[in-house]
Amino acid sequence: MNVKMGVTRLIVVLSIAMLVPFVSSGQDSLDTRNRFNYTIQRTIQPIKVDGVIDNLWEKFDTASPFYNHTPTDMGFSELKTEVKITYDDKFIFVLGICHDKGKRVVQTLQRDNTGYYRSDHLTFAIDPIGNKQNGFMFGVNAGGAQFEGSLSLDGTSVENAIVWDNKWYSKVKEYDDYWVVEYAIPFRTLRYNSKNRNWGVGFVRPDIQNNKLTTWTEFPRNFGADDMNYMGTLHWKEDVPNNGRPFSVIPYSTVSSVREFNDSEQTSANKDFKVGLDAKLNITSSLNLDVTINPDFSNADVDQQVTNLTRFNIFLPERRNFFLENNDIFSNFGGWGIEPFFSRRIGLNNGQIVPIDYGMRITGNLAKKTRIGALHIRTEGYESLEAQNFTVGAVQQQVLDKSVVKALVIDKQEAGNGANSYSRNLGLEFAYVGKNGKFNNTFRLHSSHTDEQLDDNFYYGFNGNYNTRRIRSGWTFDVVGENYITEVGINPRLENYNAETDELVRIGFIKFNPYFRYLFYPKKEESVLNWHGSRTWHVVHFNHDGSLNETENNLAYDFSFKNTASLTADVRYRQINLPLPTSFLGDFTPLPVSNYTFTQFGLEYSTDNRKQIRGDIRTSYGEFFNGHRFNLLLNGNIRIQPWGNFGLSYNYNNVKLPADFGEREIHLLRFNSNISFSTNMFLTGVAQYNTQSDNFSVFSRFQWRYLPMSDLFLIYTDNYNTINGLQPNNRGFVLKLTYWF
């Protein structure tokens, strides 16, 4: 115990010493909310959203010019952008006039597709509460595809959750040397205090042809273009109109046909008809209730298969909209690799769907500086699993300008008579954010509690970063007890698999992870580079007795080219004191408990992503425990503007270990296609082949948005076992209809 505490204290002292220069650094803010102001005026005449610049827009102020943001944050944009805003009792209206030379890149016509960022577009971002903590963004590309998301602050980084969906309207019209976009955003779509007359507001426009990004406000390029700290101010002369109708109802129905070929008792497909309901209720103008009854997630994107050559489980990202919308209030706890709350642990068990009876979620602001979240979900009993109640509560209190005190409570409880199995997590965190946004540090203290009443159930530590134009740096320090159990979260490193005894062993750890990057910017304007620079990052894990568990030391050099291409070379050195017999490759002799050291070298190149044909390649080779590993990753994409995107990726691993420890080639092949028949009709297809899991799968989804936020889906899925040819596992068809009113 003394050794453990000695190591802990040493790392804490060294970390605090490292932070002192950053804490004492200047806190001057560019104060863009005072420098950039737009006074919004009410329109008397009705606005028609058609992409045509009517004379009635002339009387409203113009937000212009725009400033360069990346790759340089000096001077005004070469391309002129003009934005005007007005409102009536029901809508905020935005007019954008984007001047160019007639060459526009449109990667996609599909709503909320990440190809939006690689397209010419205009984004309108707002902070209606005015606390620089959370907000919304609405964007439209030059092809008319919409893109919306909720904004939240995590440390000094602004997270954009594009899965936030709501009803709003837009229209694009193209001309020879400019294009026009008009927005109409209903007040009932937003969460705000009608008495607050000063909102944060920002506008972002890229110049894809010249690989530039421009913003209405002027601030350093080391901050994201949608950073809420550097928005301007949208000033209302009178109280903001009320939200309007306080609720929305979204019923759905599905008809499905599913066949499980491995079930000998099922000789034909099971047919099913299912109905359910989602509802949204505005409790106040800034606090809302979401309800789901008998939810269905069949239209969610398919999981992307991965190759796992680590000692620990890999957790795939959440893709279900009910859990993703406003999820940041619950998920922004913990740190890298340790998350007390991870919504994918609800309604899923080892990839199998566990039916959900109902769910409720309240999120929003009680006051300008007080944000809350409460979540309750009831799952049905499934096979050997009992029905479960999941309850989560979170609160954020803003202090010291942008800093936040956060608290979290998680309860998982068996339902039914006499149920006594439970798992609970408690957490308290303080996230300090400097006024200028360069420095942040979060301190955390968490505990877990189960019906077994185990000791050593803590998790505490801190992490942060310090960023300037040239410096990107950060640190993480965590201490995790061997019984810090997160049944509704993730903590993969805690559970170690013993390949000889076929059991999981919990091993607590101490983690220290510093990283540092320094960037060089070319002085000559004709340089082919945006920037280049070196970075180094280190991950050290100690056992609780102070002995070394694992260390990873990395060094890389990066080049970013003006044509959007990039090049990286890296070297990685690892030392692992393997605590348990471990097998990576399947049915081979497990690697014995021992000390392993190995080095790997890597090279990665990405082509110009503005081209119709683009791609990237990464290759690495080196030692791997007591053998060698070669990895090749290829990604290619063909774009047929604006209606089609077709991608192919291939991940190849060749692992050779000596003696009977194993030798294996692993292939992972993925083909994906996105076809847009219009901005309201799409066809998505994915085919994946993974030799590590002996699986071939196909996913296809047709979507027709026949009315705003109302959809018809047709989904087809097919899975095969490939051990002895193609043997079908399961096959399904789903027809789903939703209607938003």
Instruction: Find where tokens 């946004």 sit.
Output: 437
Quickly list DSSP for 54-112.
-GGGGGS--B--PEEEES--SSB-SS-EEEEEEE-SSEEEEEEEEE-SS-------STT
- What is the reported pLDDT for 419? 63
- What is the reported pLDDT for 326? 77
Sign of CA dihedral 42, 46, 49, 50: negative
| Omega cis (within 30) before 71 | yes
Kindly report, residue by residue over 91-102, the tens digit of the pLDDT: 999 999 999 988
Residue 201 included in any domain: yes
Residue 740 included in any domain: no
List 275's β-bridge partners, or say none.
253
Residue 432 included in any domain: no
Domain harbouring 199, CATH code = 2.60.40.1190
- What is the reported pLDDT for 642? 86
Instruction: Find where tokens 């970075």 sit.
Output: 535
Instruction: Find where tokens 């309750």 sit.
Output: 376
Instruction: Find where tokens 């965590």 sit.
Output: 478
- From first CA to last CA, the distance across the chain in angstroms is 61
Low-confidence ranges of the chain (pLDDT < 70): 1-29, 244, 417-419
Q: Is 137 exposed, middle or buried (0-12, 13-18, 19+ CB in 10 A)?
A: buried
Q: CA 470, CA 517: separation in Å to the nearest integer?
A: 8
Give the residue from 403, 450, 457 showing the smallest Cα distance to 431.
403
Q: Indicate the pTM of the whole model.
A: 0.88
Kindly report, residue by residue over 194-207, the tens digit of the pLDDT: 889 999 999 999 99
What residue type is assigned to position 551 of the chain? T
Alpha-carbon Rg for the chain in angstroms: 27
* Overall number of domains in the chain: 1
- What is the reported pLDDT for 410? 97
CB 477 within 8 A of CB 462: yes
- What is the reported pLDDT for 9? 46
Residue 49 included in any domain: yes
Residue 163 included in any domain: yes
CB 706 within 8 A of CB 712: yes
> Chain centroid to CA 71: how far?
24
Q: CA 230, CA 650: separation in Å to the nearest integer?
A: 40
User: What phi and psi, each to the nearest 5 degrees, are found at residue 59?
Assistant: -80, -10
Residue 193 included in any domain: yes
- What is the reported pLDDT for 417? 63
| Omega cis (within 30) before 642 | yes
Q: CA 104, CA 206: separation in Å to the nearest integer?
A: 11
Instruction: Find where tokens 């070297």 sit.
Output: 571
Give the residue from 359, 353, 354 showing the smallest Cα distance to 279.
359
- What is the reported pLDDT for 13? 43
CB 694 within 8 A of CB 723: yes
Q: CA 49, CA 87: separation in Å to the nearest integer?
A: 13
Residue 111 included in any domain: yes
Residue 24 included in any domain: no
Q: CA 690, CA 677: separation in Å to the nearest integer?
A: 31
Residue 181 structure tokens: 């976009």
Sign of CA dihedral 220, 221, 227, 233: positive
Residue 114 structure tokens: 């990440």
Q: CA 634, CA 649: separation in Å to the nearest integer?
A: 5
Domain that holds residue 141: 31-236
